[in-house]
Structure 1
Amino acid sequence: MKKRALGNTGIQISEIAFGGVEIGIPYGIGVKSEADMLTEADAIKLLHNALGHGINFFDTARLYGESERIMGNAFFGRRQETILATKCRHLRDSEGKIPPYAALNELVRTSLKESLRALRTDYIDLYMVHYADIDLLANEDVLNLFTKLREEGTVRAIGVSVYKTEETRQAIQAHVWNAIQLPFNLMDQSQGQYFNDAAQNGIGIIVRSVLMRGMLSDRRAKLHPALKDVETHLAKYRELLRAGFTDLPQLATKFALAHPEVSAVLVGIDKQAYLEDALNAVKGVYMDDDLLKEAQALAYPDPAFLNLAEWDKNGWL
């Protein structure tokens, strides 16, 4: 497993990041309840297998249920082998407002203490704002508080998790954050316009949604009729498999990693088979320049439509 720099932090992380949401809460295709999830023992075994195969970067969050606690149990005594990223509780109050500094400071520090206790560690490698919208990114209290945490040394690096391109632009312009976690895949390549700016500012890019909730895989059969154009477009990527890729997930993962500004690709892993798929995806070369350009030209023409949260609300997923 190759390692890449996390921006200018000096931290080296595996190209594949183990996404910990699936081991903590019911999440993903076909997972409706805890009965569909791994047992804790099996989750720990999977985490150990990932570490044994060279994955050292593990992503979780305070809001991912039991994920932090399970990772803490799995890596107790092996902390120096791992790079742990976690996210703070949401920073808005019950009315959707950003609290004043004193309350915000209490919220963040309490959340951090909870994460440290659950992960059984005394420091976090990368501590992130969970869903950093434009207002949070522009809030001086948020910037100052996370900067102070980094200066105090309890967290080595700070970052933000975003959804929209304007949020990525705002995060880069703040000149505060060490890393940005963002969605990027064959279908929706809109965030790619800021990759170079991030690299120029020493900011690491962590890509999530590389398989677009299973759309870029063989796990989904027929899509909802409202997504007919999406389904038609997805079929175009199979033409790229002629270049020797095993399947769509491998193609999608290699596509993201073919961008040198990307520090790691976050893969949700809750089965040994998914771990093996992720490991196989990083073997060999990524893409040559011609194939990369061809794949870039196949971005979905209306990325604004690719709103999976909205599709969920509409009952299309």
Structure 2
Amino acid sequence: MVHIFIQARMTSSRLPGKVLMPMARMPLVVLCAQRAANTGLPVTVLTSNDPSDQIIEETMRKHEINCFRGSLNNVLERFIKAAEMLPDSYVIVRLTADNVVPDGAFIQELVDQLQAKGLEYLGTSSPQDRLPYGLSAEAFTVAALRSMAKYGHVPAVMEHVTPMLRAYGSKELFRPKSLEKDLSQLRCTIDTQDDYDRMVALFKGCKIPASLSWTNLCEKLAKLPGQPKFRVPFSIKYSTVHSCITLGTVQLGLAYGATNKSGMPSEKQAITIIHEAIKHGVVTLDTARAYGESEARLGKALANGLAAQVRVITKLSPDCKSPTDVESSIYKSCKNLGQTKLQTLLLHRWETHKDKKIWDHLVGLKKSGIIQDLGASVQDTKELMDALKDRDVSLIQLPFNLLDWRWLNPKVQNALKKRPDIIIHARSALLQGVLISPAKAWPKIKGFNASQAVKKLDTLVKELKRKNKTDLCLAYVRAQDWITSIVIGQESLAQLRENLKLMLRSPLTQEQCTRVQDCFKHSTPEKLLNPALWS
């Protein structure tokens, strides 16, 4: 037997009161319940006993939908009490009230797969499941739910109910057999006003919205104006999604880059670039205190719910000389980004790590939860080797491109293999645009022939059947299995769109990478590889 529990409350942090916002001529939570129950499965809306949620109970009564009230902050307890009379063998399907696309057929297929595989838990997980973000559901036995009571003191379990089931249960993932193509670039959750407007448009004109199949809704969603046609490739590392491209935002806060001719975009243009990247599946954004207006512009772009979709990496001010300076830098970053804590903070210069007071203070802030992850931006292999020795460092950003032979040294590669937990982000894939520019735009380095290098790059583009030099450069970096993501700055929306499309092309093969390396014979002078030495 199956029972559907729909979680609902009025005090949503991103879009308060959304569960009662009108959609398809009825409150959102009612639409969710009617669609979930359209094949006859029993549904109960689980809300809290907080006075703010009294209106949800009244709405459910009006629409003759079962309602249960329990703890506001301990959602796990609410679920366990709601299931008190159900046998251990029953299956509970967990939905949230802003999740209106799943219907009875979707839910039944989820339950059928759970039972056919003999699992205690099965759920969706975006983007691995190829479903639109927000089209989600979880199925688990009542026995599995009750086993979670021992984790009732863990905040994440109290709020989200199933983290332990996902972490320690089966790694099986629900993928509907009726899903014919990847739709993970689409979005059907309701966290922002834009989300709500999109879903209103989705249900517009539906005469019987509760009966429209989830597959038909997905087809209609893909055809709505402005929807992305693809998602950039991603990888999963330690249960975290990493897009192959990280949006670099220094150009959005400064007139930056050796070949930058367009200058810094306006605030409106910068926000549009950020939104377009997120729309296409870019989940990591890179900024710094030293990047002018970048942090502040990011904060404005991520307001109203978008911050929950991405991970922001910022960097400590390079001018920090004391723990007090560190506190000031972090405070300013949090204020600019509109956050109460920093997800990832990098040392802008590795030499700051030598100041034990500063580094120890940062480690302390990490332990206290002000910083989630620490890392560093490094310039050369010596700094990388030092950074890899510190277990508090979990992300390293380094410069790498197809001319850069330094990081391929066997000693360096062996050191990287000993830290499989480390996330490596590569910047300077285009060497500040130099690699895709004519020879006259290259810095003049004694003993290096820029014209010859440009000719070699042009030859490789043709030989390896790449679209252009940008494609060649990015495909080479993406082929390195030790690199998680490429940090690419964008000067314009057109440039971003072109680079996003290039991510859909295949990386170079190992054989092709060797061809590139042989072409330049590891002979590029270090002075060319470090823009700080160009002047």
- Report the TM-score when normalising by structure 1: 0.86
CA distance in 1, matches of 2:365, 2:435: 38
Give the corresponding residue for 1:2: 233
Q: CA deviation at 1:114?
A: 0.5
Give the corresponding residue for 2:431: 212
Give the corresponding residue for 1:71: 298
Matched AA of 1:68: E
Between stretches 222-231 and 11-20, larger displacement belongs to: 222-231
Paired residue secondary structure (2:434): coil
CA distance in 2, matches of 1:166, 1:87: 20
Give the corresponding residue for 2:312: 84
Q: CA deviation at 1:130?
A: 0.5
1:301 paired to 2:529: no
CA distance in 2, matches of 1:61, 1:225: 29
Contact persistence 1:214–1:220 (CA under 8 A):
no
Q: CA deviation at 1:50?
A: 0.8
Paired residue secondary structure (2:499): helix
Give the corresponding residue for 2:340: 122
1:115 and 1:184, CA in 2 relative to 1: closer, same or farther beyond 3 A? same
1:118 and 1:225, CA in 2 relative to 1: closer, same or farther beyond 3 A? closer
Matched AA of 2:508: M
Contact persistence 1:15–1:264 (CA under 8 A):
yes
1:195 and 1:58, CA in 2 relative to 1: closer, same or farther beyond 3 A? farther
CA distance in 2, matches of 1:5, 1:220: 39
Matched AA of 2:504: K
Paired residue secondary structure (2:460): helix
Of the three residues 97, 102, 110, the one matched with 2:328 is 110
Q: Which structure has the larger Rg?
A: 2
Give the corresponding residue for 1:310: 533
Contact persistence 1:187–1:303 (CA under 8 A):
no
Once the two structures are superposed, residues 259-286 of structure 1 have per-residue CA deviations (whole angstroms, 9 ceiling, x without a partner) of: 1111110001121222123212211321
Matched AA of 2:289: R
Give the corresponding residue for 2:217: none
Matched AA of 1:310: L
1:21 paired to 2:244: no
Matched AA of 2:318: H
CA distance in 2, matches of 1:196, 1:2: 27
Q: CA deviation at 1:220?
A: 6.2
Paired residue secondary structure (1:261): coil
CA distance in 2, matches of 1:23, 1:130: 18
Matched AA of 2:431: M
Runs of 5+ consecutive residues of structure 1 not aligned to the other structure: 93-98
Matched AA of 1:267: I
Give the corresponding residue for 2:20: none
Matched AA of 2:397: Q
CA distance in 2, matches of 1:109, 1:21: 22
Between stretches 280-289 and 207-216, larger displacement belongs to: 280-289
Give the corresponding residue for 1:268: 489
Of the three residues 431, 435, 454, the one matched with 1:234 is 454
1:123 and 1:195, CA in 2 relative to 1: closer, same or farther beyond 3 A? farther
Higher RCO (CA 8 Å, separation ≥ 6 residues): 1
Give the corresponding residue for 1:291: 512
Give the corresponding residue for 2:467: 246
CA distance in 2, matches of 1:137, 1:109: 16
Once the two structures are superposed, residues 75-128 of structure 1 have per-residue CA deviations (whole angstroms, 9 ceiling, x without a partner) of: 112111011000010145xxxxxx4xxxx2111111111001100112222101
Q: CA deviation at 1:199?
A: 4.2
CA distance in 2, matches of 1:251, 1:39: 30
Give the corresponding residue for 1:95: none
Contact persistence 1:210–1:267 (CA under 8 A):
yes
1:297 and 1:138, CA in 2 relative to 1: closer, same or farther beyond 3 A? farther
Contact persistence 1:137–1:170 (CA under 8 A):
no
1:18 and 1:54, CA in 2 relative to 1: closer, same or farther beyond 3 A? same
1:75 and 1:145, CA in 2 relative to 1: closer, same or farther beyond 3 A? same
Once the two structures are superposed, residues 193-248 of structure 1 have per-residue CA deviations (whole angstroms, 9 ceiling, x without a partner) of: 33452343121111001001112114665546656513312321222222221011
**Aligned-pair RMSD on alpha carbons?**
2.2
Matched AA of 2:457: Y
5 Å matches for 1:38-187? Answer: 38-77=265-304, 78-91=306-319, 99=321, 104-133=322-351, 136-187=352-403
Give the corresponding residue for 2:106: none
Paired residue secondary structure (1:181): strand
Matched residues, percent identical? 24
Q: CA deviation at 1:37?
A: 2.1
Paired residue secondary structure (2:332): helix
